[in-house]
Amino acid sequence: MLKKLSWVLGTLLVAVAVQVQAQSIVVASTTSTEQSGLFGHILPRFKQATGIDVKVVALGTGQAIDMARRGDADVLFVHDKAAEEKFVAEGFGVKRFDVMYNDFVLVGPKADPAGVKGNDIVVAFQKLAAANAPFVSRGDKSGTHAAELRFWKMTPDEANKGSGYRECGCGMGPALNMASSSNAYVLTDRGTWLSFRNRGDLTVLVEGDQRLFNQYGVMLVNAAKHPHVKTADGQTFVDWVIGPEGQAAIASYKVGGEPLFFPNAR
């Protein structure tokens, strides 16, 4: 009798362990969503609504896409639309959805020695190069880095970034810390900037250019490529974050009364 009871208990424990494991997913995302505090704000609400735990691996967008391409994530949540659409077109993602947006801003020392202040990001980059101004680039294949490279490409001489140009190969937070400690210029998403506390002498110098628009997308990793993907729970996350509850959670996240992201799922 005792032996049978032990077997029953053991079977129940295995079933519980399997259920717990099934109720968790991995989301490959960007450092901007993590370091801005957004996930810390919305994920407890998702867990309460669904019972599903989410482990976020925050990387540059390019690295996050590579991670999802390898099947090491169930969901991809990043901000490089062209790369995201390529990911889906190649069969690695099921379908891409807009989730939210904010914008990029160019920050730099208040004195603005390169004279970039204004609302034209391409003219600002030209001035940075001409002045050999100190500039910290993410250099990490992130969505922010991809945007920065697009802006350099729009300048008359994209190869000329000035002698002050430095790549850190790091996330948004560390890049901002480097810029703050060296009084350098840096391109950042507004969400991370608003939550960044170690600003030093830095301030926003260029904003309002429509080319600075920063769209985020979410997509389920395709189980046809990686059968172990947790399709049901991953789709639950996608549906929630683009649905009314998730969109409201994103809209409610503010720092100093200012929203960091604007939901725009269709």
For 105-127, what is each residue's pLDDT tens digit? Answer: 999 999 999 999 999 999 999 99
pLDDT tens for 226-258 read: 999 999 999 999 999 999 999 999 999 999 899
Answer left, alpha or beta for residue 162, where phi above 0 means left and psi between -120 and 50 means alpha. left
How much is the average pLDDT of 14-33? 72
In this predicted model, what pLDDT tens digit does every residue of 133-149 receive, in sequence order?
Answer: 999 999 999 999 999 99
Task: Count CB atoms within 10 A of the CB of residue 156.
Answer: 8
Asked whether the beta carbons of 91 and 61 are under 8 A apart, the reply is no
pLDDT at residue 179 above 90? yes
Percent of all residues in the chain with a pLDDT value above 90, rounded to a whole number? 87
Is the model's pLDDT at 22 over the cut of 70?
no
Same fold for the pair 24-101+215-263 and 102-212: yes
The average pLDDT across 204-223 equals 98
167: β partners = 137
Report the candidate in 179, 192, 181 with the shortest Cα–Cα distance to residue 144. Answer: 192
Q: What is the pLDDT of residues 95-105, one digit of tens each?
A: 999 999 999 99
CATH superfamily, with its number, for domain 24-101+215-263:
Periplasmic binding protein-like II (3.40.190.10)
CATH class of 102-212: alpha beta
High-pLDDT (> 70) share of the chain, % = 92
Tokens of 235: 């789709």
Mean pLDDT of the chain: 92
* Type of residue numbered 12: L
pLDDT tens profile 69-83: 999 999 999 999 999
What's residue 8's pLDDT? 46
Domain ranges across the chain: 24-101+215-263, 102-212
Vertex 68, ends 215 and 103: CA angle to 5°? 15
Q: Which residues contact 171 (CB under 8 A, 6 or more apart)?
A: 31, 35, 58, 60, 138, 140, 142
